[in-house]
Amino acid sequence: MEITLIRHGRSIHTDQTPVTCKELHNWVKKYDGVSIFEEKEYPREAIKKATEANVLLTSDLKRAKDSASFLTKGRQVESHSIFREVDLPIPSGNVFGIKFSPKTWLTLFRILWFCGYSNNNESLSHAQERVKKAAQFLINEARKHESVTVVGHGFFNLLVAKQLKNEGWISENKQSSKHWSCTTYNK
């Protein structure tokens, strides 16, 4: 049995103009709503695992679905919200009108999230429960179909990889959060 985790391609929303915390909400909406760059070439291993898997799954966000489509030339996939990236606890107001690049804000809010700040979004403990459900879903699919590939998101894939390892799944290489990274776990 095998489970492969692939991170989506690079989003076409690359704007890193400094924004306020309030403006970051719109930045994230744009990021979640756009597609990815079409590449001249895609990693061979990602293409192989996406096309040869008996089941191909994705997050329900556009960048994951489009990534699967680019890898497989339009193979039918099942999209599930359980594989979505973990939301960040972005406050709705401005934090003293401070402006940072979106990347800086996202890093700051991920650190705060790990410290327990969730701002009515998915908390760390709720995310861990979702990760367990996602990993169990993948394990069940692998038991039924022998091989399953999911095209998802960098951070969430890292969490799922950790859970798979806790469940006894083994990989020859380390899970990465780089775009198009592809890691296979076997049992």
Q: What pLDDT, in 10s, does the model give residues 100-139?
A: 999 999 999 999 999 999 998 999 999 999 999 999 999 9
> In 10 A of CB 64, how many CB atoms?
28
pLDDT in tens, 21-60: 889 999 999 999 999 999 999 999 999 999 999 999 999 9
Could you give the CA distance from residue 34 to residue 36 in angstroms, rounded to a whole number? Answer: 7
Could you give the CA distance from residue 131 to residue 86 in angstroms, rounded to a whole number? Answer: 10
Among 55-59, 77-81, 126-130, 171-175, the range scoring the smallest mean pLDDT is 171-175
Percent of the chain residues topping a pLDDT of 70: 100
State how far the alpha carbon of 40 is from the alpha carbons of 69, 76, 98, in Å.
14, 22, 39
Helix, strand or coil, per DSSP, at residue 168:
coil
Give the domains, in start order, of the chain with CATH numbers.
Answer: 2-186 (3.40.50.1240)
To 5 degrees, how large is the angle CA 19–CA 111–CA 165? 130
pLDDT, residue 17, reads 97
